[in-house]
Amino acid sequence: MSELNLILLGPPGAGKGTQAERLVADFDVPYYATGDILRAAVKEESELGTEAKEYMDRGDLVPDDVICRVVVERIDRPEARDGFVLDGFPRTIPQAEELATAIERLGRHLTAVLLIAAPDEEVIRRLSGRRVCKENGHVYHLDFDPPKNEGFCDQDGSPLIQRDDDKEETVKHRLDVFHDQTKPLVDFYEKQGLLRRFDGTRAPDEVNGHIRATLATLRLEEEL
Ligand code: AP5
């Protein structure tokens, strides 16, 4: 079977992480979320974490060279031989160019860029109600996707917390950063014929159904 090399693109809170969990369960490929990687580094107080923390707390992007190194190393791992799902990367044109160079060097190609779209008001509503599991980052929403036991993760029982950058002012700044620096990637990938759009305001399972149908079609086309 052909490789499945995917990018999840979209504003903060569009549901990239939510869809990634479902995609990984469906396709058994490794999932690299740069936000999760950076938050783990901050927790460990590693050199990467120390460098990234001040940018993340403000809702700004960490410098391109820092994050590119992290991702390029991962897609070259044996576990990613049959594919990968990238979430939160690339987020700027220089990052996308660096990724293209790395993928070409490995003799591979991107399968698709999945754009999950959601308007700003919806993003603010979602992120203010988002809660994440302290241990493994599983994602919930107080109203739209509540856990069975209030305050605790359904999957591993650990406490649910609010992310530091989910406070309303920081969310608004993250949205500005998205419109300024990340949105140009929509055009960038559309021109390459890689972009597929999904309505992120639909229910999570419905969005997942649309993504699965699109990927099934792409794979059929590749096999022809
Ligand atoms: P990151 O962690 O990547 O944050 P983000 O892109 O802002 O994305 P989120 O995780 O906030 O949202 P999501 O789309 O995954 O939504 P989710 O599924 O959780 O990055 C954090 C920071 O790290 C950045 O600000 C930056 O500093 C740094 N960084 C990361 N990558 C970088 C890079 N490449 N370059 C430079 N810096 C980088 O869903 C949100 C909520 O909505 C949840 O509560 C969920 O339950 C709910 N929900 C999801 N889908 C639906 C639905 N369909 N209907 C109703 N509710 C839904």
User: Has residue 223 got a pLDDT over 80?
Assistant: no
The answer to pTM > 0.75 is yes
Distance, CA 216 to ligand 1 centroid (Å)?
A: 25
- pLDDT given for residue 144 in this prediction: 87
Mean pLDDT along residues 148-176: 94
- pLDDT given for residue 1 in this prediction: 55
Can you tell me which atom of ligand 1 is nearest the CA of 116? 14
Task: Give the tens place of pLDDT for each residue, 104-125.
Answer: 999 999 999 999 999 999 999 9
Q: Nearest Cα to 84, choosing from 30, 130, 41?
A: 30
User: Has residue 76 got a pLDDT over 90?
Assistant: yes
Task: Give the tens place of pLDDT for each residue, 210-221.
Answer: 999 999 999 888
Residue nearest ligand 1's atom 8 by CA: 12
Can you tell me which atom of ligand 1 is nearest the CA of 177? 25
Task: Give the tens place of pLDDT for each residue, 30-51.
Answer: 999 999 999 999 999 999 999 9
CA 173 to chain centre: 18
Annotated catalytic, 191?
no
Supply the DSSP symbol for 180.
I
3-state helix, strand, coil in the chain (%, to 5): 55, 15, 30
